[in-house]
Amino acid sequence: MVGIVVVSHSTLLAQGVVELATQMTQGKANIAIAAGVDDPENPIGTDAIAVMAAIEQVCDDDGVVVLMDLGSALLSTEMALELLDPELVEKVSLIAAPIVEGTMAASVAAAAGLTREVVIAEASSALDVKKAHLGEATSAQQDDQKNMQQEDLQDDQNGDGNSPSIASQIPDGLTLSVEWQVQNPHGLHARPAATIVGTLASFDADLALFKGDQQANAKSLNSIAKLGVRCGEVIRLQANGAMAQQAVDAFTQLANDHFGEAAQVSKMLAGEGCLGEQGGQGGESQEETLVPSPVNVAPEGALAGISVSDGVAIAPAAIFSVAMPAVPMREFVGASAEMLTLKNAIAQVQQDLTSEAVGPHGAIFESHGLMLADPEIISALEQMVAKNVTSERAWLTVMEALAAQYAAAESQYMREREADIWDITRRVMIVLTGDKGSALTLTDPVVLFARDLMPSDVASLDKSKVVAICLSEGGKTSHSAILARAMGIPALVKTKGCLEQVHAGDTVILDGFAGHLWFAPPTDIEQALELKRQQWRDDIENSAANAQAPAITKAGSAISVLANIGGPNDVEQALACGAEGVGLFRTEFLFQQSDVLPSEEEQYQVYRDIAAAFGDKPVTIRSLDVGGDKPLTAYPMPAEDNPFLGQRGVRLCLAHPELFATQLRAILRAHAEQPNIQLMIPMIATVDEVQQVKALLVQQCAQLGLNDTGLAVGIMIEVPAAVFNAEALAKEVDFFSIGTNDLTQYVMAADRGNSAIAELVDYFQPAVISAIAHTCDVANKAGISVSMCGEMAGDTKATETLLSLGLSKFSASAALLPELKAMIRRS
């Protein structure tokens, strides 16, 4: 990737510019700063050595583009070139582009993997948006003018106006193609389509996917999804261009793995053959089952709907209507400016979706992010704004057309994605217009009525106020239905006529078991429904009661069962599910939810309050675990070639002591009030790292005036080096917690997010089991506790094995705890 260097007299200025660029590129650009001088009295200036170091830091084979502010910045940079290795100098381009706009444009182009020439061209024309807005001639217009003058001159000299076009100088490559009969039970639904796009997007080739004579852009999620490829259908990838062969090879490899669904395909082939739309699993929610809905005939006095979540609720009705923000009446401000507005709005929504994608139903919001990243949407928008259409109008028009295509899809699953398109459309429209609409404020419990709800609406519902949901539209596999089910809210979809018959405030009874909505049932039916409701509540309470009982194995060992949480919102559910404390509090959420870093005070309050909610049960706070793979808007970091092997977790924290010290101080202060808090450090590989953390803790303790805090300090065992160094590490810390998510990826050298190698990312692999066994062995011999907080801990298929290896604490998502406890009791 082309590196970017920003040379400025002022560190603050350079940091601000880089902060903007990092936000725009979501941390993907590789940017270094050479700014200010090392003189506390007079910090404004530039330093050739610093420029040289910055160039060396970001230069690879693709070269570096340097942007400078003024005066001596240029001189220092030129001097830096004289000091640099001449081979390196050839890869460095100094450009006159404006430092703010130029850095933005250069970073975006560099992050997209474009060449140095393109990066320079982008930066050099970076003022065009402003110029267009202010009615000045842009560089392209100036170039056109110059070219016309030159052509006129040549025509005058040659008497011939025909020069060869650039396109005709590029030789036509061979067109390669490969065919594949799709065996995925649900065809190419969103997940396999995303796998295809994720793999093919980076190849420099034109890639088209065909189903019969229908054609899709193989780099576009929406385009592939619209093909509606079903199990048993044949698709053909057609590739043309420089990397056609590599793209075909990568596609073939993916196809052989059934686009990341090899396990589902073999299960299906062993049994039933291809599933039609009426059976098996649906989409990215693997637990969704599309069973044929029996025709539900409503008894007299009730309406029939399709039940998507069981339960019975009796409450007044409230009607929820979400309006799409209106397109504002305003002047068109130029194609580049309108496009920039659109890209910024899309980027902002993507950023929001990234933080939602870490939540319990992250996959839904992750798929929304993929839909937004679709190049087809961008090119359709470009075509519209080129016709002088404002950004808001262009966005709505393009997305309306896309939603209509989904609505007309052959497959039910694809039709139900229409709601997802409307959800992202509305989110971007809200950013574009600033019009959030009027939210429904609820004070008492209600049955919520709507035409349809978007996933973000459902996720933000106050469960204590919404006791049931009734939709006149919606679908069984819609993401809102999945969320309602996960939140335990009884819900009906496709309850035809419900909106016409209901009035706000009417008391209604929603029977999610039978799929009925009652308005004013006869007394005997009302009593029977009330009984059914009580029975349902009792059952929930009974299972919750068992969840609170301890988990004791048949041999009589008491095993701790703790919860993994992401923030205060998870506390209630964790306690209700029987968590005996928190084995992993991922503190990233505090840092990812805002554009500014959380202050020490804010962090302290959150840590203290969460610990207080757990009384004297242990609460394990994991220090910040972010890095190149999980960038923070609030703390821009340079992009890395191998982020999973780079500055993440404790490595980043130790390299940025100001960031780390703030968090440690907050934890120490919270611990002084809540002694049930313990600290856990992620990504530890060496004893030296632990000692550095402990030294920082001692230093911060002293600054806070605390003598000996008695804060227990443990580490995550998730890097193979930590397994090999376990004996030495056990002497330094109070506990180990095995992070199988990362341990598996590092032991197997297999990216945990890459479905092409999914069978390697498997914690049952003997090498991973052996690393776990060694860790448990060392901890037990050293007399420190050993727990597990990776996904494996919540997998009941692994429980017996883990107990036999000597694991004494398990930490998993709250919803898994009752079943995990039951499994431990059976073991």
Rounded (5°) CA angle 517-519-520: 135
38 SS3 class: coil
Residue 718 or 795: the one with the smaller Cβ distance to ligand PEP is 718
Buried b (16+ CB within 10 A) or exposed e, 704-738: eebeebebbbbbbbbbbebbebbeebbebbebbbb
Q: Which does 620 bind (CB under 5 to 8 A by kind): Mg ion, ligand PEP, none?
A: none
Among 789, 802, 805, 816, binds ligand PEP (CB under 6 A): 789
Q: How far is CA 351 from CA 23, 88, 370, 711, 812, in A?
A: 9, 35, 12, 35, 26
Extended beta strands in 413-557, E state: 446-450, 466-471, 491-493, 507-511, 516-518, 551-552
Residue 452 or 795: the one with the smaller Cβ distance to Mg ion is 795
Report, in Å, the least distance between residue 760 CB and ligand PEP. 16
789 tagged catalytic = yes
Query: Structure tokens of 322?
Result: 């979400």
Q: Which does 58 bind (CB under 5 to 8 A by kind): ligand PEP, Mg ion, none?
A: none
Residue nearest to Mg ion (CB): 742
Residue the block writes with tokens 């937004």:
372
Task: Identify whether the C-beta of residue 619 lies closer than 8 Å to the C-beta of residue 582.
Answer: yes
Name the amino acid, one letter, at 361: H
Q: How far is CA 819 from CA 154, 523, 544, 545, in A?
A: 81, 39, 11, 13
Q: Which does 740 bind (CB under 5 to 8 A by kind): ligand PEP, Mg ion, none?
A: ligand PEP
Residue 647 or 740: the one with the smaller Cβ distance to ligand PEP is 740
Residue 251 or 589: the one with the smaller Cβ distance to ligand PEP is 589
Mark 701-720 with x for binding to ligand PEP (rule: CB under 6 A) and - for no binding: -----------------x--
Helix axes 335-356, 11-24, angle to 10 degrees: 80
Residue 399 or 690: the one with the smaller Cβ distance to ligand PEP is 690
Q: What order do you get walking across the sheet with 175-181 strand by strand?
A: 175-181, 234-240, 206-211, 214-217
Among 427, 494, 586, 665, binds ligand PEP (CB under 6 A): 586
Q: Exposed, middle or buried: residue 648 (CB in 10 Å: 0-12, 13-18, 19+)?
A: buried
Number of residues that bind ligand PEP (CB under 6 A): 10
Q: Interface with Mg ion includes 588 (CB under 5 A)? A: no
- Which residue in 258, 368, 479, 516 is the catalytic one? 479
Q: What order do you get walking across the sheet with 446-450 strand by strand?
A: 302-304, 516-518, 507-511, 312-319, 446-450, 466-471, 491-493, 306-309
Report, in Å, the least distance between residue 784 CB and ligand PEP. 19
**HSE-CB of 692 using CA atoms within 13 angstroms:** 17
CA-nearest of 812, 396, 760, 736 to 582 is 812
Mark 725-744 with x for binding to ligand PEP (rule: CB under 6 A) and - for no binding: --------------xxxx--
In angstroms, rounded to a whole number, what is the distance separating the alpha carbons of residues 727 and 711? 21
Report, in Å, the least distance between residue 622 CB and ligand PEP. 8
- Which residue in 470, 653, 776, 789 is the catalytic one? 789
In angstroms, rounded to a whole number, what is the distance separating the alpha carbons of residues 262 and 761? 13
Q: Interface with Mg ion includes 739 (CB under 5 A)? A: yes
Interacting span for Mg ion (CB under 5 A) from 164-172, 346-354, 510-518, 715-723 = 715-723
Among 742, 747, 763, 813, binds Mg ion (CB under 5 A): 742
Task: Identify whether the C-beta of residue 508 lies closer than 8 Å to the C-beta of residue 313.
Answer: no
Residue 206 or 640: the one with the smaller Cβ distance to ligand PEP is 640
Report, in Å, the least distance between residue 678 CB and ligand PEP. 16
CA-nearest of 721, 715, 719 to 740 is 719
Q: Interface with ligand PEP includes 69 (CB under 6 A)? A: no
- The interface with ligand PEP within residues 216-235 (CB under 6 A) comprises none
Interacting span for Mg ion (CB under 5 A) from 107-115, 169-177, 712-720, 760-768 = 712-720
Report, in Å, the least distance between residue 757 CB and ligand PEP. 17
Work out the number of other CB atoms within 10 angstroms of the CB of residue 654. Answer: 17
Report, in Å, the least distance between residue 765 CB and ligand PEP. 15
Report, in Å, the least distance between residue 609 CB and Mg ion. 25
Residue 2 or 683: the one with the smaller Cβ distance to ligand PEP is 683
Report, in Å, the least distance between residue 625 CB and Mg ion. 6
**HSE-CB of 318 using CA atoms within 13 angstroms:** 18
Report, in Å, the least distance between residue 529 CB and ligand PEP. 44
List CB contacts of 216: < 8 A, sequence separation 6 or more.
208, 209, 210, 223, 224, 226, 227
Number of residues that bind Mg ion (CB under 5 A): 3
Interacting span for Mg ion (CB under 5 A) from 58-66, 296-304, 519-527, 714-722 = 714-722
CA-nearest of 132, 112, 126 to 386 is 132
479 tagged catalytic = yes
Query: Structure tokens of 21?
Result: 């660029």
Give the interface with Mg ion as residue ranges (CB under 5 A): 718, 739, 742
Residue ranges that bind ligand PEP, judged by CB under 6 A: 584, 586, 625, 718, 739-742, 789-790
Would you name the residues annotated as active-site residues?
479, 789
